[in-house]
Structure 1
Amino acid sequence: MGAHIPSKRALPTYEEALERIFASTRTAGVEIVSQKDALGRVLRAPVRADRDQPAFDRATMDGFAVRTGDITPGRPIPIAGTILAGAPQEDWQCPLSTGKVVRIATGAPLPPGADAVIPIEKAVVDESVDPPHVQFKIEHVKTWLHIHPQGVDARSGQVVLEPGIKLAPHHLSIAATVGATELTVSRFPRISLLTSGDEVRPSTTPTHELGRQQIRNSNGPALVAMMGAIGAPVSCHVHVPDDKELTIYHAAKALSESDLIVTVGGVSVGSHDLWASAWQALGMTTILHGVAIQPGKPLLVVQTPEGDDVTLIVGLPGNPVSVLATAHLFLVPVIGQMLGISPATGSLRWRRVELAADVKASPARQLFRAATLDDDLRAHIIDWHGSGDLMHTDKADGFVRLPVTDQHVAAGTRVPYMTMVV
């Protein structure tokens, strides 16, 4: 027999369930990877500036480096030389002489004594004299005009990348800027995915080989893709028949080689819902079985007994919309915590949007509904035919979270909205 799911009054809320699961989730270890292999990984050690950024007072315009006190509109002033970006130190380390200016390129270092850059568009150059002279078409020159001062972005030793971020291209650009060729990141957790059900056939099964009572495995490919997208690739995916001994066998095997086990189906109260009893037979500790949400009420979460190597098991219901919802609601933040994302709940990507139309909520369970978001940030909840109706999610962008109430929730009400993993 399947495990008993507690009554509605005993079911934890979504927040309570997440809190219990977080308390049992261990953060993965770390490894060092090259910068080129770090995209999408979670940083676990701070990255510091190896020198001031910028490392010198840098011109931000093509023009002339000047002493502001020397500039009078319309009065010619001699040009003492040129400084290009990347110029050798001898070209720019000599102080700028009083009463002179130098040509300067964008990105070039300012010579000592210069305190502004006048753009070339504000200059009239006379090349007929030796040395050439320049007049400026500007009434007032502010000090530090068009200069990026040394150290204004970051000082040497300052943390420029904090632990807990998922490394994106712009983070890797920062790492490259400060010479961080190797980065300390979270190890990939070892994840086993165990789908189940005698009615479920491989997703590659041709139509003529599929019985009318059978379905293709849509949950496996979805979860493999989803966990890969959030930076936690599945290590092993096995489909388990509805057989008690085989269920225990595959459960025990997964325990020996996994940090996280995700099961699909077999967590409700039917005679072929075998996961709860299998974990019990293997001595696992139940964290929760059932949550006051829809879809996803039968969620099962267990763990190995406390110790150095704790394996967490998250059992998702088998209906595809329930899988889609609970994977976002629970797997995304759990994996976020395992990877060291800070905060783990931030990986859920909630924001508040307006409902486009009235919608019926529930007084007993928190409803999560697939929705599409328009350009005005209004959420349009998509009609569905229950948690087995995967087809209605084809245009969904995310999930709306409705309040627990026996009243309709009015159009225009601001509600939490979670973007789907892409």
Structure 2
Amino acid sequence: MLPVSQAEQMILDLVQPLRETESIDLTLATGRILATEIVSRLDFPHWANSAMDGYAVKFADVRSSTSKHPITLEVVEEIPAGYQPQREIQSGEAARIFTGAILPDGADTIVMQEHTQRVQKNFVKIQIAPTARAFVRQQGEYARSGDPLLTAGMVLNAPEIAILAATGSSQVEVYRRPRVAILSTGDELVSLEQLLKPGQIVDSNQYALAAFVTQAGGVPICMGIVPDDRAKLTAAMSEAIASADLVLSTGGVSVGDYDYVEAILAELGGDIQIRAVAMKPGKPLTVARFERSDRAIVYFGLPGNPVSALVSCWRFVKLALVKISGLPASSWQPNWIAATTTEDLTADGKRETYLWGKLALSDGGYQFSLAGGSHSSANLINLAGTNALAVIPVDVTMLAAGIAVQVLVL
């Protein structure tokens, strides 16, 4: 059995980032990964403008204003947002201006309206002296034309979408989403539409893994249930390998008489790298690489037990999906944090043990609470609400309540 850390590094070494890109409409780009650097085509702001409702003035005219000795200026123009100023401000003049409006030539400072008093129709008293260039957003203050704004590998969320819209990018180049084929093996499995008979169980893995892949930014290709028939399994695995970037199958990777996955992978030309990992749950894990003319395919033969399958996905497959999707190398590691366990955590000490539960922020620190009920690899019921896995190292049999524990954030 391989140590978990060694298996992690081997999997990352097997996977190569996708380089295929596609141009999509900006309205569809949320959550996608940017494939090209975005360079500003404009200055931001595009022109000097006001950050306040008030009056555009020459600072030299109003620097000595006080409430007792206000400076009176003639208001020669009103400038709402979206309006091109028509006058250059001369000494002794001001322009009524609104937030976002273009600063008129000749003015260099904004006096907020709360510090003024309008007198008659065309005059204003400046009652408090502003600081020089107050409330003026200078042209190019945020970015200059030619400045890089977004780098390749960034996930496009609301801020990045706003920047792309501001630059006029109606189309955006993103990395293609990785295609992940998913198949379940086992004569005992039935689909949701079938009536359960004694000895049968619903194939929950197909749905769980499809949801996992979608959340991780991939495109699940659900291939359904394949019985424990060698010929049918060979055909299904061959089709999955030909159609996807990653393949996830559940079941058939242990040492039973009907566990055919490893043998078929070898027959199909797979380079088998991993056969078992020293972790609990998730010990049976087969990982193989297939070289294709256009890309390399990585095949994950996951355990059939629902918890084992998901823990293997959270621990290993997620890293593969992160790397293949085009995210930068800084994202290729698990998200570990230190938390305080609220109860005793126990293990047999023989393998690295993963216990599922909930992570919460309390009193300025993170606390991990174990999911209730049996921690069996077949018990998917108490997985509900799981957002973290606490890790008990090899040769450790208990972590007492109140001490720090390493937690994998899901």
Q: 2:158 aligns with which of 151, 163, 169?
A: 169
SS in 2 for 1:304: strand
Q: 1:23 aligns with which of 13, 34, 42?
A: 13
Residues 93-112 of structure 1: matches in 2 within 5 Å?
94-112=87-105
AA aligned to 2:243 is: E
User: Is there any run of 5+ residues in structure 1 with no aligned partner, and where?
Assistant: 1-10
Q: Do the aligned partners of 2:210 and 2:222 also contact (CA within 8 Å) in 1? A: no
Q: Do the aligned partners of 2:399 and 2:405 also contact (CA within 8 Å) in 1? A: no
Question: What's the C-alpha RMSD, in Å, of the aligned pairs?
Answer: 2.1
Q: Do the aligned partners of 2:323 and 2:332 also contact (CA within 8 Å) in 1? A: no
User: Is there any run of 5+ residues in structure 2 with no aligned partner, and where?
Assistant: none
The equivalent of 1:116 in structure 2 is 109
SS in 1 for 2:5: helix
Q: Distance in 2 between matches of 1:101 and 1:353?
A: 60
Q: Distance in 2 between matches of 1:347 and 1:67?
A: 55
Q: Do the aligned partners of 1:353 and 1:417 also contact (CA within 8 Å) in 2? A: yes
Structure 1 residue 406 and structure 2 residue 396: aligned? yes
The equivalent of 2:79 in structure 1 is 83
The equivalent of 1:157 in structure 2 is 146
Closer, same or farther: CA 148–385 of 1 in aligned 2, 3 Å = same
AA aligned to 2:77 is: G
Residues 180-329 of structure 1: matches in 2 within 5 Å?
180-205=169-194, 209-305=195-291, 308-329=294-315
TM-score normalised to structure 2 length: 0.91
Measured against aligned partners, the alpha-carbon deviations of 1:110-157 in whole angstroms (never above 9, x if no partner) come to 12332322221221111x25xx2222332x411232222222222212
Residues 373-388 of structure 1: matches in 2 within 5 Å?
373-376=359-362, 377-383=366-372, 384-388=374-378
Structure 1 residue 36 and structure 2 residue 27: aligned? yes
Measured against aligned partners, the alpha-carbon deviations of 1:252-310 in whole angstroms (never above 9, x if no partner) come to 22222222111111111211111101101112101211112221111111011475431
Count residues in correspondence. 400
Measured against aligned partners, the alpha-carbon deviations of 1:226-253 in whole angstroms (never above 9, x if no partner) come to 2122221113423111112211121122
Measured against aligned partners, the alpha-carbon deviations of 1:15-62 in whole angstroms (never above 9, x if no partner) come to 221211111112221122121222222111111111111112221111
Higher relative contact order (CA 8 A, sep 6+): 1
AA aligned to 1:116 is: T
Q: Distance in 1 between matches of 2:392 and 2:331?
A: 18
Task: Give identity over the alignment, percent.
Answer: 28
Q: Do the aligned partners of 1:299 and 1:316 also contact (CA within 8 Å) in 2? A: yes
The equivalent of 1:390 in structure 2 is 380
Closer, same or farther: CA 57–356 of 1 in aligned 2, 3 Å = farther
Q: Do the aligned partners of 1:265 and 1:315 also contact (CA within 8 Å) in 2? A: yes
Q: Distance in 1 between matches of 2:44 and 2:391?
A: 44
SS in 2 for 1:179: coil
Structure 1 residue 50 and structure 2 residue 18: aligned? no
Q: CA deviation at 1:98?
A: 1.6
| Greater displacement, 111-120 / 313-322 | 111-120
Q: Distance in 2 between matches of 1:185 and 1:307?
A: 23
Closer, same or farther: CA 401–134 of 1 in aligned 2, 3 Å = farther
Runs of 4 or more off by more than 6 Å in structure 1? none
Q: Distance in 1 between matches of 2:124 and 2:347?
A: 74
Q: Distance in 1 between matches of 2:29 and 2:150?
A: 13
| Greater displacement, 398-407 / 167-176 | 398-407
Q: Distance in 2 between matches of 1:327 and 1:352?
A: 21
Q: Distance in 1 between matches of 2:380 and 2:277?
A: 21
Q: Distance in 2 between matches of 1:198 and 1:329?
A: 27
AA aligned to 2:232 is: L
Closer, same or farther: CA 117–415 of 1 in aligned 2, 3 Å = farther
